[in-house]
A = this chain, B = another copy of it.
Amino acid sequence: MAIVEINIIPLGTKTPSVSKYVGRALKALRQEKNIKYELTSMGTTLEGDLDELLRIVKKMHESTFGDDIKRVVTTVRIDDRRDQPSSTSSKTGSALRELGY
């Protein structure tokens, strides 16, 4: 199980707002049945099998293109831990514990 964070930036959007185009990627993500994800203000975090996650990353990236979008910059951070189970919730929990909560 890996955790992946994906951030998608469409270029050449005429206006500074890009949520319309990023929405295409999120809709592609929502079609996936067996994947756990979280929206943050800076991207989306996904949790699951790494091959499966990379397939979804590719699909989200592709979905952002269209007649109006000819360039997309996608950043993916993979956090892959194999000594013990890891998850988005266990990672956030560890951070909170360090803060004394």
**Which residues from chain A sit less than 8 Å from chain B, CB to CB?**
3, 5, 7, 9, 11-20, 22-23, 26-27, 30, 38-43, 45, 47, 50-51, 54, 57-58, 61, 65, 70-83, 87-89, 91-92, 94-99
Contact = CB atoms under 8 A, between A and B. Distances in A.
Q: How many copies does the complex hold?
A: 4
Contact of A79 (B26, B50, B73, B91): B73
Contact of A70 (B47, B65, B72, B83): B83
The 9 A-B pairs with the shortest beta carbon distances in the complex, nearest first, are: A23-B98, A41-B88, A16-B71, A70-B83, A19-B94, A12-B16, A41-B91, A5-B42, A71-B81
A71 B26 CA distance: 22
